[in-house]
Structure 1
Amino acid sequence: MYFLTKELYFPPVDEATYEGILAIGGDLSTERLLLAYRNGIFPWFNEEEPILWWSPPERMVVVPQLYKVSKSIRNLLNRQQFDVTFNQDFRSVIRNCQQIARKGQDGTWITQDIIDSYTKLHELGHVQSVEVWQNGELVGGLYGVDLGHVFCGESMFSKVSNASKIAFVTLVQYLKDHNYKLLDCQIHNEYLEQLGAFEISRETFIKVLKS
């Protein structure tokens, strides 16, 4: 594992540990975050811990051009119970992602430093949000880092049933329409798998990222 200094640098991703930890320390500056994402690296750490930088051996992804919307989600979309917007309330989205209770999780990795850093990235146009509204109330959404051909999803939330699914599928359709190559979902979990994401090797992911 590499210990970062003030130098704007990351080691090669194949030097990550078996679990995927590549480096520790550094900062959450705009320049370092963009360098990380452009090289298949992302920060993930708990409150009161040093910054951990990850590049896992398997990457959870969606290929927008190949994505098939399930019948149940199509039915949800057809009911038109929700309104969806892009970049209309990023701050509320990231704050809800921080505060929403998650099964099996104690605390959050979305610290105030994370919020400040990604808000700055959003203001610079590098981070996008999707908002899901019901009767004028924000009930779901997600945000992520937009690299122009790969969208790196960071977190999502849902206050009512299916709201995050609507955000996810709407984002995938947007990425498909704009010829993105991948939606990066980072690390496997069952919910993402249910939504249609699957794992590819780090090597394949980096190849697409660099193409």
Structure 2
Amino acid sequence: MHRLTPLSTDEVLEYVQAIPGLVPSGVRLTVREIGDGNMNFVFRVTGQGDSETTSVIVKQALPYMRSVGAAWPLTADRILIEYETLETQHQLCPGSVPRVLHYDDELSLIVMEDLSSYIVLRDGLISGRRFPSFASQIGVFLARTLFFTSSYALNATELAFNRIKFANPDMVKITSDFIFTFPFMNHEMNRYSQVLDSTVQRIWNNGRLHDEVAGLKRAFNHEP
């Protein structure tokens, strides 16, 4: 049975303190909710002791979309899929994904490495920064994670098991709807500036574009 309400900041603080070996003795912790308010609840827990610093991320998934509430149900198992995905990717390409420090199935949450000392690649590129190692790093990550989870490395039984294990229909539907469907029609979930109305109308009425998008949507939904 999954918890139907999110943890409060005080509960997050108590929870992290109770995880054996996670917080060094003498470290005083503070909690801040940093989620974007859309899907999940995300907290940053930081602390400073006499000689040690602690900083972790707590992410909790509830059985609905946070921004809408119970009217938009989602399986809380998505956090289990995320946990197992991160663990698999770390095993195949160590150091390329955030380390999972703790997983709790009952509360549908994971505690993971805090990457706040990093920057988002998109933001760095927009600001003009160069990343000379990026191509090789992402190439190795993709090569190892894609090859060793494919039919080239797994037998038919393992592949079939993984397809079931990592199936995430709720999240697939969200992408199918919000990326490949809603933007191309007059839908209540769309939000745009009225200045763009003529452009939006052209998109909604472009049959050739809709045909191309339909092909991409089919590939996304049926070619995992």
Could you say which TM-score interval applies, normalised by the shorter chain? Answer: under 0.3
User: Normalization by structure 1: what TM-score?
Assistant: 0.26
Q: Tell me which protein shows more strand as a share of its residues.
A: 1
Q: Which of 1 and 2 has greater Rg?
A: 2
Q: Tell me which protein shows more helix as a share of its residues.
A: 2
User: Normalization by structure 2: what TM-score?
Assistant: 0.25
